[in-house]
Amino acid sequence: MIFGRPTVDNKRFSTGTPEATKATTPRGRDHFHARIRARTAYRTTFPCAPRAHAGSPSPRPSRLAPSRLAPFVARASLPLDTPMTLKVAHPTSESVHRPLDFVESLLSKENVEKGLTEHFFEGKPQLFDKYWDSLKEHELREFFQTRFGKTTSREDRKHAFVVYGASGYTGKLILEYIYEHVKGLGTEITFALAGRTPAKLHARIDAIKQKFPEVAYAPDVLRADIADARDIRALALCARCVLNVAGPFMNTNAHLLVQACLEYDCDYVDVNGEVPFTHKLIGLHDYAKQRRVIVCPNAAGAGGLPDVAAFFAAKELRAKTDADIARMHTFMHSNGGVPSGGTLATRAAMTKAMSKVAKIMADPFALGGTVSDGKRAEDSDKCLNKIEHWDDFDGWSGPFTYAFYDTRLIRRSNWLLMDMGEDPYGMKFNYCEHLLFPDEASARAAASANTSSKKEEEKLKAEGKLYELGEGLDDETRGKLFTDYYVNAVAEDGARVRARVSAGDGYDETARVSVETALLLACKRDELPFVGGVLTPSVAGGQALIDAVRRTGITFEVLPEDFKVDFAKVTERVA
Ligand SMILES: NC(=O)c1ccc[n+]([C@@H]2O[C@H](COP(=O)([O-])OP(=O)(O)OC[C@H]3O[C@@H](n4cnc5c(N)ncnc54)[C@H](OP(=O)(O)O)[C@@H]3O)[C@@H](O)[C@H]2O)c1
């Protein structure tokens, strides 16, 4: 038990996301079968992909002759033996669905044909036609096992983790964090950098070697196209955890990478800051639990860190009282920050997709955690825009862009704690988040400066801080930035804890939180409270994550009753 209290009746909660269950429903199976039927003209009989879905409900009779390959596909030790549906106790979903997009993509006719030609016929299709009939059954069995099956167990994987999308700005900071803080590189821990452009990854390694000449280790470089099922299979099989930093996430096939991780027993961590993308993943929660694989999106400075701060405050309050936590309010106080080129591209991608994702974005419980009381004014997004005085820290609130994301994540943590059999923060838990200002005038000034993304970009350009893809704020300026999260947590019986979590620039914290999460999953799973599920960073990492990020620089404090915020700490705003 995380908080050391008895577990609770989970019927009073819901994920709040009927879409979540829909998301696990194998998409377009009829369409897929139609495609397969259309393949009858193909010269060999390759109904592999659909027939491989062991347990698939009522496979349609194929017009194809009984396939020579199908039995091998089924026996290829792909993790295809799980029944399609399994009844589990869950407040909303009736059954666990196995997501099949990745498997369908991996076992597409094209991939199977290409693989057979490469494996047996030196890549020459004419040899394929000539010698196909001479292949022995055991050869085919071995082919499917090595090309599509699960070839290594988690313990035998070459790397602790692989960083995908490492050529970008966040990838660079992640690499620097690893070189600075991770002990035993090359001995206890090896890792790999992966991405679609190996030359950029090699350039990253050259740069890091110059910056840290005392570290002899150099990571492997893996070329992998996130849209290619064979490439992402190789990624999932080479490590115990994939850390994905390739964004905008909603524009990549990252959900297929997550599915590959589920199939091949590899944990998954990412830094996405996109509610719609995480929403797409949460439908995999029950399947991930069943597979005992941890999927941990949002392990970053925004999202992840406030989530861990909330967890810390909750734990401290629980040490004082047995009562449920009624409300928690976090105030972010910093001297600024500048978006990277990748963050701007992600915002642009979200804006472009808005008509499709508006409903998800507008739902305060898009990632779960709805309280049984129904809609409450205090949970609505209107509260996030309030400019008013708060006694909690004797300061003024102003709207915080990331509150529209952090609030969803922390509500999900509350729900997850219940779903995983722990006690949630509170059955009527309310979470709110703002920026913190010393006076009304500065809160109003900041709110009015918070304009459209176009105007923000114009301002950044004028200041020379409009970054291209792959770029972001320089080391020296980032080094001057701080981010303090002030959390006021109040229990149903009136007990309260005020806490402060102090960190640096959001991109540096993204490197820290994501790497430490990946390391915990890859190397210290027995210290973690849960073995599987689509989890928030605080629920995945628990106290072990707090300890890990504290060790390398974040401070977590319970504040004394007479504490006052030092607003003079902001001597100059960086952006
Ligand atoms: N939540 C947070 O606090 C937080 C913090 C930091 C970053 N992020 C998010 O992390 C993402 C990366 O940010 P960044 O500043 O590092 O961006 P970046 O510098 O532009 O790097 C993006 C990386 O993703 C790769 N990539 C992009 N599209 C891809 C695709 N379709 N297939 C394969 N690889 C692809 C790029 O590869 P190439 O080099 O080959 O183009 C590059 O390695 C963004 O979505 C950002 O919002 C979130």
Cα 197 to Cα 11, 201, 203, 225, 469: the distances in Å are 48, 7, 10, 9, 14
Q: Is the CB of 149 under 6 A from ligand 1?
A: no
Cβ contact 290:98 at 8 Å: no
127 belongs to a structural domain: yes
Tokens 């890091």 appear where? 208
The Cα 368–Cα 19 span in angstroms is 11
Mutate which of 200, 250, 343, 466 to test ligand 1's pocket (most atoms within 8 Å of Cβ)?
A: 343
Q: Which amino acid is at 564?
A: K
Judged by DSSP in three states, 404 sits in helix
Total domains in the fold of the chain: 2
Q: Is the CB of 414 under 6 A from ligand 1?
A: no
414 belongs to a structural domain: yes
The Cα 154–Cα 240 span in angstroms is 6
The domain boundary residue, chosen from 125, 148, 171 = 148
What interhelical angle do 229-238 and 254-263 show, nearest 10? 50
Mutate which of 170, 173, 269 to test ligand 1's pocket (most atoms within 8 Å of Cβ)?
A: 170
pLDDT of 424 reads 93
111 belongs to a structural domain: yes
Q: Is the CB of 548 under 6 A from ligand 1?
A: no
Q: Is the CB of 169 under 6 A from ligand 1?
A: yes
Q: Please tell me the pTM assigned to this model.
A: 0.88
The Cα 499–Cα 306 span in angstroms is 12
Q: Separation of 449 CA from ligand 1 center, angstroms?
A: 27
Cβ contact 469:341 at 8 Å: yes
The Cα 514–Cα 181 span in angstroms is 13
* CA of 196, closest atom in ligand 1: 40
272 belongs to a structural domain: no
Q: Is the CB of 253 under 6 A from ligand 1?
A: no
Residue 204, both tokens: 């990253």
pLDDT of 79 reads 44
The domain boundary residue, chosen from 95, 130, 148 = 148
User: What is the enclosing helix (H) or strand (E) of 105?
Assistant: helix 101-106
The domain boundary residue, chosen from 148, 182, 199 = 148
Within the chain, which residues score under 50 in pLDDT? Answer: 10-12, 15-67, 75-94
What is the 3-class SS of 331-398, one letter each residue? Answer: EEEECCCCCCHHHHHHHHHHHHCHHHHHHHHHCCCCCCCECCCCCCHHHCHHHHHCCCEECCCCEEEE
Q: Is the CB of 337 under 6 A from ligand 1?
A: no
Q: Separation of 506 CA from ligand 1 center, angstroms?
A: 15
Buried residues in 400-428 as b, exposed as e (16+ CB within 10 A): bebbbbbbbbbbbbbbbbbbbebbbbbbb
pLDDT of 552 reads 98
The Cα 146–Cα 181 span in angstroms is 36
User: What is the enclosing helix (H) or strand (E) of 434?
Assistant: strand 430-437
Q: Is the CB of 283 under 6 A from ligand 1?
A: no
* CA of 305, closest atom in ligand 1: 3
pLDDT of 373 reads 66
Instruction: Kindly report the number of other CB atoms within 10 A of residue 386's CB atom.
Output: 15
What is the 3-class SS of 208-233, one letter each residue? Answer: HHHHCCCCCCCCEEEECCCCCHHHHH
> Chain-centre distance of CA 467, in angstroms?
24
166 belongs to a structural domain: no
HSE of 540 in the Cβ direction (CA atoms, 13 Å)? 36
pLDDT of 95 reads 66
Domain that holds residue 445: 304-508+558-569
Cα 118 to Cα 103, 222, 465: the distances in Å are 20, 20, 49
